[in-house]
Amino acid sequence: MTTASLLERARAAAAAVPDPEIPAITLEDLGILREVRAEGGRVVVMLTPTYTGCPATQVIQQDVRDALAAAGIAQPDVRITLSPPWTTDWITDEGRRKLREYGIAPPAHAASGPAAAVVRFVPGAAGARPRCPRCGSGDTERISEYGSTPCKALYRCVACREPFDYFKPY
């Protein structure tokens, strides 16, 4: 097999691995699969963590090793790189669509830069509000800045009264 087709197969296998916390989306959708390359006869997969303390990172590494093994790629080197840091802007359009279908509102705006370090407390004014993934209403409010995982906040839809997870712009 040529290196190119081997790498293509490795990339496809790694890209299709579901996120352990949000299995509706893949590593590719989430934008944390940075690179698949050959290095000294071995396949090297570069992943980047969402948050430094994300407990899923090690699970993801193992899942990628397993997926590559299942695709017949022996001894892959699955590495973590911090740079450039992941932001929610790396989530693909396909990933956003899948999140919505799964019941998680995707980030409503681009990840904030240095200038957005605010301490002002203004109820309901914490940036653009997400649309309800169930009924599509834009009339939503934040219940909790932190939710079931570090990357999510808890919101509620004022229109349909349903609570929902929101993938925070980050």
Partner 1 sequence: MSANPAHVEYVTRLGDNALVLGQRLAEWCGHGPALEEDLALTNVSLDLIGQARLLLTHAGRLEGAGRDEDALAYFRDEPQFRNWTLVELPNGVAKHDDYAVTITRNFLFAAIQVPLWEALAGSADTELAQIAAKSVKEARSHLRHAGEWLVRFGDGTPESHRRAQAALDRLWPYTNELWAADEVERAAAQAGIGVVVADLKPAWDATVDAALAQATLSRPADSAFVSTGKQGVHSEHLGYLLAEMQTLARQHPGARW
Shortest CA distance to 69 belongs to which of 49, 45, 46? 45
Contact flag: residue 85 with partner 1 (CB under 8 A): yes
Q: Of 43, 40, 41, whose CA–CA distance to 14 is shortest?
A: 43
Q: Establish if 118 lies at the interface with partner 1 (CB under 8 A).
A: yes
What single DSSP character describes residue 89? G
Stretch that binds partner 1, among 26-34, 49-57, 60-68, 159-167 (CB under 8 A): 49-57
Helix (H) or strand (E) holding 24: none
Within 10 angstroms of residue 1's Cβ, the number of other Cβ atoms is 9
Q: 23 or 55: whose CB is closer to partner 1? A: 55
Q: Is the peptide bond before 150 cis (omega within 30 degrees of 0)?
A: no
Closest approach of Cβ 97 to partner 1, in Å? Answer: 25
Q: Which is nearer to partner 1, 41 or 84 (CB)?
A: 84
Write out the residues near partner 1 by the rule CB under 8 A.
49, 51-55, 82-85, 87, 112, 114, 116-121, 143-147, 150, 154, 170
